[in-house]
C-alpha cells in the first residue's frame, strides 16, 4: 500500500499515513546493549523508523531508579542496537542523550539501517532500491504532458 505524508498547514510533516488517511506504525522492536567496561547492560525498546527515536526502553537486570542511566557510569563505552528478523541481525550505533536519558539513532545511521535491513531481510541491495526508484520516476509522465493546448 503506498504511503502519503500528512502535512500541517505550515508544510511540516505530522505523521506517515496511508492514502486512506490511516496512521502507519513505523516502530520496530530492537535490543539495546550499553557497553560498560567488562559488563553489557541489555535492554529492549522500539525504534521509530520515521524519526530515529527509541521509545519504551526496558532494562534487564538494571535498576534505573537506583543506578541511573548506564551511559552515566564511569566505565561507559558505547551503545549499540540490534534489529532482528528470522535469525538475521542488523547492528547499529545508538546515541544516548545523557541529559534527557533518551536513546536515538542519527538520520544517517537510520538510512544505513534501512538499506542494510532491506538487503539482509529481503535480499534487496541499495543499488537495486535506487534502480527501482529511478525506473518508477522515468515511467511516470511529467505533469502537464499529454494535455493539448487549452486555448
Res 6: pLDDT:
35
pTM of the model: 0.68
Mean pLDDT of the 82-102 span:
93
From residue 147, alpha-carbon distances to 57, 138, 150 in Å are 54, 19, 8
Res 100: pLDDT:
93
For every residue of 58-113, DSSP letters joined together read EESS--HHHH--GGGSTTEEEEEEEEEETTEEEEEE-EE-TTT--EE--HHHHHHH
Mean pLDDT of the chain: 80
From residue 42, alpha-carbon distances to 48, 80, 85, 112 in Å are 19, 10, 18, 23
Q: Across 12-16, 33-37, 117-121, which has the greatest mean pLDDT?
A: 33-37
Instruction: Evaluate if residue 148 carries a pLDDT over 80.
Output: no
Res 121: pLDDT:
75
* Cβ-based neighbours of 32, under 8 Å, separated by 6 or more: 42, 43, 44, 45, 54, 57, 79, 80, 81, 82, 94, 103
Mean pLDDT of the 68-81 span:
95
Map out the domains of the chain with their CATH numbers. Answer: 26-139 (2.40.10)
For residue 112, count other CB atoms closer than 10 A to its CB. 16
Mean pLDDT of the 100-107 span:
95
Amino acid at each position: 500500500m503506498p504511503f502519503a505524508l500528512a502535512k500541517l498547514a505550515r508544510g511540516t510533516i505530522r505523521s506517515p499515513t496511508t492514502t486512506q488517511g490511516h496512521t502507519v506504525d513505523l516502530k520496530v522492536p530492537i535490543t539495546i546493549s550499553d557497553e560498560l567496561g567488562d559488563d553489557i547492560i541489555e535492554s529492549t525498546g522500539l525504534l521509530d523508523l520515521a524519526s530515529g527515536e527509541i521509545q519504551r526502553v526496558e532494562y534487564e537486570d538494571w535498576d534505573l531508579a537506583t543506578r541511573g542511566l548506564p551511559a552515566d557510569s564511569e566505565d561507559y563505552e558505547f551503545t549499540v542496537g540490534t534489529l532482528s528478523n528470522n535469525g538475521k541481525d542488523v547492528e547499529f550505533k545508538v546515541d544516548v542523550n545523557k541529559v534527557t536519558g533518551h536513546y536515538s539513532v542519527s538520520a544517517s545511521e537510520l538510512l544505513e539501517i534501512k538499506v542494510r535491513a532491506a538487503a539482509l531481510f529481503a535480499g534487496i541491495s541499495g543499488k537495486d532500491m535506487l534502480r527501482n526508484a529511478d525506473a518508477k520516476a522515468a515511467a511516470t509522465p511529467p505533469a502537464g504532458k499529454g494535455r493539448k493546448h487549452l486555448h
